[in-house]
Structure 1
Amino acid sequence: MALTTKYKVLLDTANASNIEGLQVQELDGVLHIRGTAPSADVKNKLWDVYNQIDPNFLAGDVVMNVDVSTAVAGSQVKVITENSNLNIRKGPGTDQPIIGKAAKGEIINLISRANDQWWLVRTKNGEEGYCYAQYLEPLP
């Protein structure tokens, strides 16, 4: 089965969600999806649809590089790890690749609370991804 068929609902959702610069390409058995979502809710919705098709993202046949438009205003949160840096992941789960780190005590932008465990953040360097919420403290 072609990956575009397997992930038709995901691709239809991306197309219907006004993803700017949406690019879909199948290379070496992996479906690559790129673009810029108009909001964090749209990005979170894409991850939810992906998880419904491939629970816990176990197949490893999709790479989703969808950022959120920088026009999204967000509050700030502080990294409250005990001793180490906080991993920033591509998607909401420990099985997702680490794409960056935030230092203990660093202030970063909260884009969205994807769910109770994972929040979508962006660092001052523009790294965007998901962090485990228990290590983030909202600032007043």
Structure 2
Amino acid sequence: MSALQDKYAGVIAAANSAGLSNLQVSEQDGILYVSGHATNSAAKDAVWNALGVVDSSYSASDINVDVQVAGLATGSPLTVVTEDSNLNIRQDPSTEGAIVGKAGKGESVTLVEQTSDDWWKVKTADGEEGYAYARYLKA
């Protein structure tokens, strides 16, 4: 087992116990890639929560987690699950992207596209479209 696989053993274990299909764990250029398909948001959250134990700010540059929730179709309703603050809706799928809207905790938004594991394109009730951090969205 490599040092990275050892460091993120909890993430790999969570992915296994969450029952991810197509689970792949690989390493390239000092980055550990963990990918797979979850059957529901809870399974995806289990993997992210395990990552949070190791890296509470989710800012580690030596791991890439890509867990898609299977069966989420365009137009699916999503609920914002932030702790206290509003969820920023951004022009680009990055924290550098300009904020084009906000959605409050518990608010419903519509899935436009699962752009990546981290960023999903959504539409707010006001019709604002942009990218939101998928960690704070639940199907």
TM-score category by the smaller chain?
0.5 to 0.7
What is the CA distance between 1:86 and its match in structure 2?
A: 4.1
CA deviation string 1:60-89 (max 9, x = no partner): 110111100116794268xxxxxx854446
Partner of 1:108: none
What is the CA distance between 1:120 and its match in structure 2?
A: 9.4
- Distance of 1:39 and 1:138 partners within structure 2: 27
AA matched with 1:49: A
TM-aligned CA distance change 1:86 to 1:48, over 3 Å: farther
Point out the more displaced range, 13-22 or 52-61: 52-61
Task: Give the secondary-structure state (helix, strand or coil) at the position aligned to 2:23.
Answer: strand
TM-aligned CA distance change 1:10 to 1:75, over 3 Å: same
Partner of 2:14: 13
AA matched with 2:36: G
- Distance of 1:48 and 1:26 partners within structure 2: 21
TM-aligned CA distance change 1:85 to 1:30, over 3 Å: closer
Q: How does 1:1-140 map to 2 (within 5 A)?
A: 2-70=3-71, 74-75=76-77, 86-88=91-93, 94=95, 116=105, 122-123=111-112, 125-128=113-116, 129-130=118-119, 136-137=124-125
What is the CA distance between 1:45 and its match in structure 2?
A: 2.0
Instruction: Figure out how many residues of one structure are paired with residues of the other and give that number.
Output: 110
What is the CA distance between 1:57 and its match in structure 2?
A: 2.3
For structure 1, the 5+ residue unaligned runs are: 78-83, 105-115
AA matched with 1:58: S
TM-align CA RMSD: 4.1
Task: Give the secondary-structure state (helix, strand or coil) at the position aligned to 2:10.
Answer: helix
CA deviation string 1:32-74 (max 9, x = no partner): 0111111111112211210110121233110111100116794
